[in-house]
Copies of this chain bind each other. A is one copy, B any other.
Amino acid sequence: MSEMIPTLTLKDFATDQEIRWCPGCGDYAILKTMQKLMPGLEQTKENQVFVSGIGCSSRFPYYMNTYGFHTIHGRAPALATGIKLANPELNVWVITGDGDGFSIGGNHMMHVLRRNVDVQLLLFNNEIYGLTKGQYSPTSAVGTRSPSSPQGSVDLPLAPCELALGAGATFVARSIDTEAKHLSGVVKLADEHRGASFVEILQNCPIYSDGIFENVKNKKLAADFKVEVEHGKPLVFGKERNKGIQLDSQALKLKVVELSETVSEAKLLVHDENNKVLAQMLSTMSGPDFPVAVGLIYRQDKASYVDDSQKQAAEVRKNGISLQELLNSGYTWIVE
């Protein structure tokens, strides 16, 4: 290349808006990671579009110096679908929260995944409604005390990745707000995936659900409470990389084993990102008995709705007629 294209930096993706998250909010870290990631992505800045619903997390677009749309509660996937259908050149990101994406927005989330619309969906899961001051959400653990559940919530929570898989998602991954490198890697993969990519980001809300992800975030504990899954690699974890996941193929269940002379890494389950059954098992692993899986859990190539819709329209357009021809088509008669 002889022409000099000025390379963009993180700063080019920051806006002049005062950031309105609480001090210590996990959203800051995610924002930073995303801003840093942007210059390295294939798409140009003017083709990046961030769409969100309503919630603390959904303020995200205001802080990204790209095109952005802070819409209405729960509907971002629907708007994103419209944007993508209108202009498939755009690279569309949906930023949502556990309330926005899975409470009020559950239906659109389900359908954007099923249709495999080519957008990236980043779910900031803090297991709480932050913006409305801390009510429990559909991902809150049973017993969560909140202003709307003073005696503790009784609703069983849902698992975002499991639901996404159930809805037919073709890309499912999980990462952690403050794990910049890991998060960045996962989001980059999501960006590259053609179709809907779903990324659950465990996000700490220091105000209303502080510490719920402590086990997987705390430098001392994390090694024992999370496992990084990687395609083709055995599922090893633990501070001394001394534990692993095995499949009990009779019971069709996973189990945690200690590595030892008799149990070598070779006997562990090897991650296969194309296996949905495995993905379902991994995505629902949870503490304290199991480590939480982070990384790219599942990926599959499938028809993308927007591509196919465009193709169909293009096909029809080949035999295009003019508006006048349309008006004159079919049965007409002349009055003189």
Contact = CB atoms under 8 A, between A and B. Distances in A.
A106 B116 contact: no
Interface stretch (A26-34, A302-310, A324-332): A302-310
B115 A106 contact: no
Interface stretch (A11-19, A125-133, A277-285): A277-285
A40 interface: no
Contacts of A165: 166
A155 B164 CA distance: 16
Copies in the complex: 2
Interface string A240-284: 000000010111110000000000000000001001111011000
A277 B280 CA distance: 7
A154 B114 contact: no
Contacts of A316: 151
A114 B142 contact: no
B156 A162 contact: no
Contacts of A116: 156
Interface in A50-107: 103-107
A227 interface: no
Interface string A149-169: 001101111110011111110
A182 interface: no
A256 B106 CA distance: 35
A12 B159 CA distance: 43
Interface of A: 103-107, 110-111, 114-116, 138, 142, 151-152, 154-159, 162-168, 247, 249-253, 272, 275-278, 280-281, 302-303, 305, 308-309, 312, 315-316
